[in-house]
Amino acid sequence: MTRRIKLTGLIAALLVIFLPSFTLAQEVNFGVSPAEVRINDLPPGGTAEFELTIHNKDAIAHVFTFTAFHPPEEERREGRAEFPDDSWISFSSPEIEVAANSQANVTVTVSIPQEQEWAGEDWETWLGVAAESSDLLGVKLYVRLLVSTTPAAGGKSNRGVFAGIAVAIVLLGCGVYYYFRRKAKPE
Amino acid sequence: MKVVITSIVVATILALISSLPALAQASSTITIIMTGVNQISIRLDKTQWPLGNVTSDTQYETSPPIEWCTLTVEGNSNVNTFILGDDAEWVDNPSAYKWTLSTDGTNGENVYGLRFRISGDTTRGPLGDGYVPITKTESEFWPYAGGSGSSLAPGDTKQFGLRLLTPTYFVGGRQMQTQITISAVAA
């Protein structure tokens, strides 16, 4: 019994959880605008760019990092599907330092691959902005990014239209050719 | 020869005329709608919990237990908030030793539990005591499914506290650190 108590005492010795930090800041306070971005009619193969503004309301400078996050279905706007691939979203910089009581912009680029399978979709993903910190509590703010691509029907029917036009042109060309040839033939 | 040239010219004109609508469609406008006036922002008035030495299989609570930290909604956007925990890592060598965060607030060997309780919540959580496990999966902070609360509006506050349950066994003498992230998205 005594051995057990000693062992427990040893295990418990000098363990510190949640590293105490001696920085004066005991608060985290920042904002991001806009809170929501909608991109409509983005065609497969197309690119769209917009800016996020980070407002550092603290009395000290902070480094902010950016990530994309897939929200669960119940948190997405109605009719929105999960964004297929985070690599289609890029930030002008993975992190940015914002001075005390000031603001800075980061450019976000959304690029959709050329494949027609990405046409006619309504997606949602969240762009996370977090202040780097070693404190126990951290804050992350999400911007809703809603992306809608141009309808698929146009792209698919275009192929048929182009084929039909090509055939019609060939036929018309032949017709015109034979008409003139016949006309030019001596009686 | 004249006939052939005429035929080609006719065919080319036809091709150009017929492709005009397709060209027009390819240069359609991408619309980006940014809700520019909306800024998302939350503030925490406390970010550190320096516990000091802890013993195994013991429960620790912030002081005061459920009004330790105040979350304030700033900016001008209503928000839904979430909470996310992580493993606690050895500060000197994070890859060498850690405490795994449990999925239900309980503990085990090198497994620790974290829970939060929002002031006023008396029946929430698996034990019906208001305490909700914090896990490595982002889960609802406020509002929550099954609750009567709604999204937080600018100026709204929520007070909460934390409860830590140390592992039943851990290696002593090591300083451990973790982070809990409170996140927000426009409602």
Give B32-89 as a DSSP string.
Answer: EEE-TT--EEEEES------EE--TT-EEE-SSSSSSEEEEEEETS-EEEEEE---EE
CB contact under 8 A, A143 and B40: yes
Q: Which domains does chain B carry?
A: 40-186 (2.60.40)
* C-beta atoms surrounding A88 within 10 Å: 18
Indicate the pLDDT class of residue B50, thresholds 50, 70 and 90.
confident
Q: What is the pLDDT of residue A20?
A: 42
**CB atoms near residue A163 (< 10 Å):** 10
A5 touching chain B per CB within 8 A: no
| Tens digit of each residue's pLDDT (9 = 90 or more) over B95-122 | 999 999 999 999 999 999 999 999 999 8
Residue A139, chain B, CB below 8 Å: the answer is yes
> CB atoms < 10 A from the CB of A160, how many?
9
Is A136 in CB contact (< 8 Å) with chain B?
yes
pLDDT in tens, B117-160: 999 998 899 999 999 999 999 999 999 998 888 999 999 999 99
Domain range for residue A165? Answer: 153-182
Co-location of A46 and A85 in the same domain: yes
ipTM score of complex = 0.84
Residues A81 and A106 in one domain: yes
Q: Are residues A91 and A112 in the same domain?
A: yes
pLDDT above 70 for B37: no
* A136 and A165 share one domain: no
Bigger pLDDT: B184 vs B1: B184
* A6 within a domain of the structure (yes/no): no
Subunit contact A75:B80, Cβ cutoff 8 A: yes
User: Tell me, what's the pLDDT at A50?
Assistant: 95
CB contact B24 to A (< 8 Å): no
Q: Angle at Cα B80 formed by Cα A75 and Cα A112, nearest 5°?
A: 45
Q: Which residues of chain A have pLDDT under 70?
A: 1-27, 153-180, 185-187
Could you tell me the pTM of the whole model?
Answer: 0.80
Distance CA B162, CA A178 (A): 90
The total number of structural domains that make up chain A? 2
Query: Is A92 inside a domain boundary?
Result: yes
Flag if B10 and A176 touch (Cβ within 8 Å): yes
Do A128 and A176 share a domain, yes or no? no
Rounded to a whole number, what is the distance in Å from the CA of B116 to chain A's nearest CA? 12
Contact A134 B42 (CB under 8 A): no
Q: Is residue A164 part of a domain?
A: yes
Cβ-based contacts of A35 with chain B (< 8 Å): 35, 38-40, 75, 77, 186
Q: What is the mean predicted confidence (pLDDT) over B20-39?
A: 64
A133 touches chain B (CB under 8 A): yes
Residue B57's contacts (CB-CB under 8 Å, 6 or more residues apart) are B107, B165, B166, B167, B168
For residue B80, list chain A residues with Cβ-Cβ distance below 8 A.
75
Q: How confident is the model at residue B33 (pLDDT cuts 50, 70, 90)?
A: confident
A70 within a domain of the structure (yes/no):
yes
Nearest residue on chain A to B137, judged by CA atoms?
A72
Chain A residue at shortest CA distance from B170? A11
- Mean per-residue pLDDT of chain A: 81
Does residue A10 lie within any of the structural domains? no
What was the pLDDT predicted at A10? 42
Interface test with A, best of B4, B6, B7, B58 (most A CBs within 10 A): B7
The answer on A133 and A51 residing in a single domain is yes
The pLDDT value given to residue B175:
94
Whether B32 contacts chain A with CB within 8 A = yes
Q: Check whether residue A176 and residue A122 sit in a common domain.
A: no
Instruction: Please tell me the predicted confidence (pLDDT) of residue A171.
Output: 62
Same domain? A112 vs A158: no
On whether any CB of chain A is under 8 Å from the CB of B169, the answer is yes
Q: Are B103 and B110 in contact (CB under 8 A)?
A: no
B82-94 confidence digits (pLDDT tens):
999 999 999 999 9
> A178 and A99, same structural domain?
no
Whether residue A109 sits in one domain with residue A53:
yes
B62 and B161 in contact (C-beta within 8 Å)?
A: yes
Mean pLDDT for the stretch of residues B51-67: 95
Residues near B143 by Cβ (< 8 Å), separated by ≥ 6?
B80, B149, B150, B151, B152
What beta strand segments (E) does A77-149 contain? 81-82, 89-91, 95-98, 102-111, 122-131, 137-149
